[in-house]
Structure 1
Amino acid sequence: MGFFKKKSFSMHPDPPTPYHTLPVSQVSIHTKTDIDDGLTPQEAVQRLGLYGFNELSGQGNVSVFAVLYRQIVNALTLVLVIAMIISFVFKDYVEGGVIALVAVTNTIIGFSQEYSAERTMESLRRMASPTTRVIRGDSLISVPTRDIVVGDIMVFEEGDVIGADGRLFEVFNLEVDEALLTGESLPVAKSVDVIQEHDKPLGDRINMIFSSTIVTKGRGKGIAVNTGMKTEIGKIAKTLASSSVVTRTPLQKKLEIFAYALFGLAIILAIIVFGVNKWKVNDEVAIYAISIGISVIPEGLVAVITLTMAFGVRQMAKNYAIVRKLNALEALGSVTNICSDKTGTLTQSKMIATDAWIPGDGSYRISGRNGFSPEGDIYRCGTSGASEIEVEDEKVTPDNMGYAFTRLVQASALCNMAVIKKGKGESNDEWHAIGDPTESALQVFAHKAGLPKPVLTAEPFKFELVQEYAFDTELKRMSVVCKEKSTDAYYVFLKGATESVLNQCTRIQLGENEANLDREKFEPELYSELEKLANKGMRVLSLAYRRVIKTDVEILKWTREKADADMIFLGLVGIYDPPRPESKAAIQKCFGAGIEVHMLTGDHPATAAAIAKEIGILPLLWSPELEHEGKFNSQLVMTAAQFDALSDEEVDKLRELPKVIARCSPDTKVKMIDALHRRNKYVAMTGDGVNDSPSLKKADVGIAMGLGGSDVAKQASDIVLSDDNFATIVNAISEGRRIFSNIQKFILHLLSGNAAEIITLIIGLSFIDQDGISINPMSPLQILFLNMVTSSPPAMGLGVERASKDIMKYPPRSKGELFSWEIIFDMIYYGIVLGGLSLVNFVIVIYAVGNGDLGQNCNSSPTGVCTPNNPTCNPAALEIACDQIYRARATTFATFTFILLIHAYNCRSLRDPIWTMKLYDNKILLWSVFGGLLTAIPTFYIPGLNSKVFKQLGIGYEWGLIIGAVIIFEIFVEVYKFFKRKYLKPLEILEGEGFKRQYSLNEYP
Structure 2
Amino acid sequence: MGKDLKGLSLSDESRDVPTHGESSDQGLTSAEADKRLETYGPNDMLAVKHSSPVVQFLRLFLNPLTAILLVASIVSVILGDAVDASIIIVIVLLSNILNFVQTSQSQKAVEKLRAGVAPMANVRRDGEWIDLPRRQIVPGDIIRLAAGDLVPADARLLQATDLHVQQAALTGESLPVDKSADVGGEDTEDFADAPDRVFLGTSVVSGLGIALVTATGRTTAFGDIAVRLASRAPETEFERGIKSFGMLIMQTVFFLVIFIVMVGTIGHHKPFETVLFAISLAVGLTPEFLPMITTVTLGQGALRMAKKKVIVKHLESIQNFGSIDTLCSDKTGTLTSGETKLESFLDLTAQESERVLLFGYLNSTYQMGMKSPLDEAILRHGAVDMSGYTKVGEIPFDFERRCISVVVRHGDENLLIIKGAPESVLARCTAYERNGVCKPLDDVNDEERATYVNKYRDLSAQGYRVLAVAYRVISPQEKYEKVDEQSLVLLGFLNFADPPKSDVARVLQALKNDGVQVKILTGDNELVTRHVCEQVGLKSDRIVLGSEVEHMTDPALAQVVEEVNVFARVSPAQKNRVILALKSRKHVVGYMGDGINDAPSLHAADVGISVSTGVDIAKDAADIILLEQSLQVLHDGILEGRKAFGNVIKYLLMGTSSNFGNMFSMAGAYIFLPFLPMLPSQILLNTFLYDLSQVTIPTDNVDASYIRKPQHWDIRLIRNFMIFIGPVSSIFDFLTFFIMLHVFSADAVLFHTGWFVESLATQTLVLFIIRTAGNPFRSRPSLPLAITTVLIVVVGFVLPYTPLAGTLGFTPLPPLYFLFLAGMIVGYLFLVELVKRYLMRRYA
Which runs of structure 2 are paired with 1:115-154 in the superposition (5 Å)?
117=106, 122-132=111-121, 144-146=133-135, 154=144
Q: Matches of 2:129 and 2:534 in 1, distance apart?
A: 34
Residue 469 to residue 318, structure 1, CA distance change in 2 (3 Å): farther
CA contact (8 A) 2:417 2:472 kept: yes
Q: Matches of 1:526 and 1:107 in 2, distance apart?
A: 74
The residue that corresponds to 2:700 in the other structure is: 801
The residue that corresponds to 1:233 in the other structure is: 216
Matched, 1:274 2:264: yes
Matched residue of 2:563: which SS? Answer: coil
Q: Matches of 2:784 and 2:129 in 1, distance apart?
A: 44
Following superposition, the deviation at residue 318 of structure 1 comes to 3.9
Equivalent residue in structure 1 for 2:407, among 477, 481, 485:
481
CA contact (8 A) 2:310 2:634 kept: yes
The residue that corresponds to 1:372 in the other structure is: none
CA contact (8 A) 2:43 2:135 kept: no
The residue that corresponds to 1:258 in the other structure is: 248
Following superposition, the deviation at residue 567 of structure 1 comes to 0.7
What are the Cα deviations for residues 160-200 of structure 1, in whole angstroms up to 9, with x where unaligned? 324686875562344575998x999998754568x579999
CA contact (8 A) 2:148 2:615 kept: no
Matched residue of 1:416: which SS? Answer: helix
The answer to which of 642-651 and 162-171 deviates more is: 162-171
Residue 910 to residue 175, structure 1, CA distance change in 2 (3 Å): closer
Following superposition, the deviation at residue 104 of structure 1 comes to 3.9
The total of aligned residue pairs comes to 816
Structure 2 counterpart of 1:279, one-letter code? H
The residue that corresponds to 1:410 in the other structure is: 358
Matched, 1:648 2:596: no
The residue that corresponds to 1:756 in the other structure is: 661
Residue 286 to residue 661, structure 1, CA distance change in 2 (3 Å): closer
What are the Cα deviations for residues 374-407 of structure 1, in whole angstroms up to 9, with x where unaligned? xxxxxxxxxxxxxxxxxxxxxxxxxxxxxxx233
Residue 517 to residue 285, structure 1, CA distance change in 2 (3 Å): closer
Q: Matches of 1:189 and 1:695 in 2, distance apart?
A: 24
CA contact (8 A) 1:911 1:977 kept: no
Q: Matches of 2:395 and 2:808 in 1, distance apart?
A: 80
The residue that corresponds to 1:992 in the other structure is: none
Q: Matches of 1:157 and 1:531 in 2, distance apart?
A: 30
The residue that corresponds to 1:538 in the other structure is: 464
The residue that corresponds to 1:305 in the other structure is: 294
Matched, 1:697 2:559: no
Which runs of structure 2 are paired with 1:924-939 in the superposition (5 Å)?
924-939=784-799
After TM superposition, the score normalised by the length of structure 1 is 0.72
What are the Cα deviations for residues 279-313 of structure 1, in whole angstroms up to 9, with x where unaligned? 34366656654554443222322321222232233
Residue 183 to residue 489, structure 1, CA distance change in 2 (3 Å): same
Which runs of structure 2 are paired with 1:933-948 in the superposition (5 Å)?
933-943=793-803, 945-948=804-807
Following superposition, the deviation at residue 900 of structure 1 comes to 2.9
Structure 2 counterpart of 1:411, one-letter code? F
Equivalent residue in structure 2 for 1:839, among 734, 737, 750:
734
The residue that corresponds to 2:8 in the other structure is: none
The residue that corresponds to 1:971 in the other structure is: 830
The residue that corresponds to 2:644 in the other structure is: 739
Residue 354 to residue 644, structure 1, CA distance change in 2 (3 Å): same
Q: Matches of 2:187 and 2:599 in 1, distance apart?
A: 37
Structure showing greater radius of gyration is 1
Matched residue of 2:523: which SS? Answer: coil
Q: Matches of 1:284 and 1:207 in 2, distance apart?
A: 73
Q: Matches of 1:649 and 1:434 in 2, distance apart?
A: 36
What are the Cα deviations for residues 718-737 of structure 1, in whole angstroms up to 9, with x where unaligned? 33334343334333332332
Matched, 1:915 2:820: no
The residue that corresponds to 1:502 in the other structure is: 426
Matched, 1:660 2:566: yes
Which runs of structure 2 are paired with 1:402-481 in the superposition (5 Å)?
405-417=353-365, 435-445=371-381, 447=382, 451=384, 455-456=385-386, 458=387, 461=388, 463-481=389-407
Equivalent residue in structure 2 for 1:560, among 465, 469, 482:
482
CA contact (8 A) 2:160 2:179 kept: no
Which runs of structure 2 are paired with 1:287-298 in the superposition (5 Å)?
288-298=277-287
Residue 297 to residue 177, structure 1, CA distance change in 2 (3 Å): closer
The residue that corresponds to 1:901 in the other structure is: 764
What are the Cα deviations for residues 479-524 of structure 1, in whole angstroms up to 9, with x where unaligned? 111111xx22111111111110000100111011011115531244
- Is there any run of 5+ residues in structure 2 with no aligned partner, and where? 1-11
CA contact (8 A) 1:418 1:443 kept: no
CA contact (8 A) 1:947 1:953 kept: no
CA contact (8 A) 1:135 1:155 kept: no
Matched residue of 2:695: which SS? Answer: helix
CA contact (8 A) 1:887 1:955 kept: no
Which runs of structure 2 are paired with 1:585-984 in the superposition (5 Å)?
585-618=506-539, 627=541, 636-652=542-558, 654=560, 656-711=562-617, 713-765=618-670, 767-768=672-673, 773=674, 775-789=675-689, 791-810=690-709, 812-814=710-712, 816-820=713-717, 823-848=718-743, 850=744, 852=745, 882=747, 885-912=748-775, 914-918=776-780, 922-943=782-803, 945-976=804-835, 984=841
Equivalent residue in structure 2 for 1:19, among 16, 19, 39:
16
Structure 2 counterpart of 1:496, one-letter code? G
Q: Matches of 1:582 and 1:142 in 2, distance apart?
A: 34
Residue 265 to residue 119, structure 1, CA distance change in 2 (3 Å): farther
Structure number with the higher helix fraction is: 2
CA contact (8 A) 1:131 1:163 kept: no
Q: Matches of 2:70 and 2:305 in 1, distance apart?
A: 38
Q: Matches of 2:650 and 2:605 in 1, distance apart?
A: 29
CA contact (8 A) 2:156 2:198 kept: yes
Give the fraction of aligned pairs with identical amino acids, expressed as a percent. Answer: 23
Residue 672 to residue 142, structure 1, CA distance change in 2 (3 Å): farther
Q: Matches of 1:574 and 1:753 in 2, distance apart?
A: 66
Q: CA RMSD in A?
A: 4.4
Structure 2 counterpart of 1:972, one-letter code? L
Equivalent residue in structure 2 for 1:97, among 86, 89, 92:
86
The residue that corresponds to 2:150 in the other structure is: 160
Q: Matches of 2:13 and 2:795 in 1, distance apart?
A: 71
Matched residue of 1:957: which SS? Answer: helix
- Is there any run of 5+ residues in structure 1 with no aligned partner, and where? 1-14, 33-43, 365-404, 421-432, 628-635, 853-880, 988-1005
Q: Matches of 2:318 and 2:175 in 1, distance apart?
A: 38
Residue 135 to residue 664, structure 1, CA distance change in 2 (3 Å): farther
Structure 1 counterpart of 2:641, one-letter code? G
Residue 472 to residue 524, structure 1, CA distance change in 2 (3 Å): same
Matched, 1:56 2:43: yes
Structure 2 counterpart of 1:743, one-letter code? V
CA contact (8 A) 2:145 2:151 kept: no
Q: Matches of 1:235 and 1:651 in 2, distance apart?
A: 42
Q: Matches of 1:589 and 1:48 in 2, distance apart?
A: 50
Residue 29 to residue 845, structure 1, CA distance change in 2 (3 Å): closer
CA contact (8 A) 2:420 2:469 kept: yes
Residue 969 to residue 314, structure 1, CA distance change in 2 (3 Å): same
Following superposition, the deviation at residue 473 of structure 1 comes to 0.3
After TM superposition, the score normalised by the length of structure 2 is 0.84
Q: Matches of 1:119 and 1:700 in 2, distance apart?
A: 26
The residue that corresponds to 1:219 in the other structure is: 207
CA contact (8 A) 2:151 2:198 kept: no
Following superposition, the deviation at residue 940 of structure 1 comes to 1.0
